Amino acid sequence: MISEKPRVRFAPSPTGYLHIGGLRTALYNFLFAKQTGGSFVLRIEDTDRARLVEGAAENLIATLEWAGLHFDEGPGREGDFGPYTQSERLSIYSEHTDKLIKNRDAYYCFCTKERLDALRDEQRSRGEQTLYDKHCLNLTDEEVKRSIAEGKPFVIRLNVKHGKKVKIHDLIRGVVEFDTSLIDDQVLIKSDGFPTYHLANVVDDHLMKITHTIRGEEWLPSTPKHVLLYESFGWEVPQFAHLPLLLNPDRSKLSKRQGDVAVEDYRAKGYLKEALINFIALLGWNAGDDREFYYMDELIKSFSIERINKSGAVFNLEKLDWLNAEHLRAKSDEELARLLREELNATGCAGNSYEEAFLVKVVQSMKERVKFIKEIPVNAGYFFTSPSEYEEKGVQKAWKEDTPALLKGYISKLNALSEPTKEGYENALRSTAEEAGVGAGKLIHPVRLAISGVSSGPGLFDIIDALGKEETIRRINSAIEKLAVKQ
């Protein structure tokens, strides 16, 4: 009996990184569960032992947690339907396979690889679809027992009855119909004793009371096999929703050949989780309006399976960058300061040595000029390290014969400030220029050059306010000394 409350699952294989398409599948399942008051289950499908990667399951869980997709049940968060790792459920699959064999819905197959290859080659030469020919279907119980006793390798296959139609009512695509004459006798148990995706998926979804199977479009051709299995067991079939493919800008399937496809790659590049989730949500879904900026709680309120598109969704990196900048600017200065501190620590710049007030002033001056937090120490390293050299074009433009005298006059004004403020720094500069009978630009440009080493950046007085009076004076004196030698 399927649960009354919606129960959905994300069931990745731990074969490496979490694909960006996998994150979208997880997100849509999560949003649906949270909106409907249901449960979001994580199941690790590790039955493909040849492709298993050590540590990949732990990485998948850590990545989902980072993205804010907290599962209700799963490894380490046990519920009533565990274990949630398929390699720990082998006896369950064996028990259910025995039932299928007893009812003639599955059978042992001892065909060698050589025979199967020859069969496929023969069918291809005739222009036919490659399907198993049921060669082992009619083996007697005695023949099966004898072959097993002799140690012959075998698999267990689904016995697909031909001449039927399988109808699927997909929540995104509507009614999809399949002819069983074109469906292969799918392997259910491999020669290593592990189940294939098809058997384990159906058995686990039923036993875990999954009500909605929301997964990628690539699984649509396999769905009739799953429906046949549900029917063979006499189980209720869950509702299916197959998500559209993710596409490159040239509309080819999103692949590593044309760019990053791992969630971990985007995290390492400095994308905010809020921006990545916002972006991924819009790859195939919209709320029916032009809105593009969402927080997670807003996505939960707005999401509906009915609004998911059938056609593939183009992965537009420029839009992701734009969303990252928008989410960055929407954060509080204190949150940005925390992220900046983490970035400085990660790059060996001793982020913990800086006071929060200083980092807040840095992000206030830079947040409108960057798309990523990591751009701040790269583009404005002068906040953290005094310049050792000065931009040549800036020197030629701003450093004149009377510049040192003007700067010394500004230093005198700065020293006289009892309570330095951004307004005080600006008033001191303008009064210095006025007393010298020059425009403020005659001081603004060389001061910027002296304290930052470059001729462009955020507001000059924002920089001075962040650095403070003493550090600003020290840098100006250093520039006077160094550039006097150059001239």
Active site amino acids: 256
Residue 34, both tokens: 């949270």
With CA atoms as reference, report the closest residue to 217 among 256, 254, 270, 259: 254
CB-based contact 443:433 (threshold 8 Å): yes
Beta strands of 143-221 (E only): which ranges?
155-158, 165-170, 174-179, 187-189, 212-216
| CA distance from start to end of the chain | 87
CA–CA distances in Å: residue 392 to residues 389, 399, 447: 9, 10, 15
Q: Which residues of 108-121 are buried (b: 16+ CB within 10 A; e: fewer)?
A: bbbbeeeeeeebee
Q: Distance between CA atoms of 447 and 315, rounded to whole angstroms?
A: 44
Dihedral sign computed on CA atoms, order 437, 442, 446, 452: positive
Q: Distance between CA atoms of 18 and 258, rounded to whole angstroms?
A: 17
Report angle CA 313, 8, 273 to the nearest 5 degrees.
55
With CA atoms as reference, report the closest residue to 351 among 327, 371, 374, 333: 374
Q: Distance between CA atoms of 179 and 129, rounded to whole angstroms?
A: 13
CA–CA distances in Å: residue 58 to residues 27, 53, 61, 240: 18, 10, 5, 28
CB-based contact 18:59 (threshold 8 Å): yes
Beta strands of 309-416 (E only): which ranges?
313-314
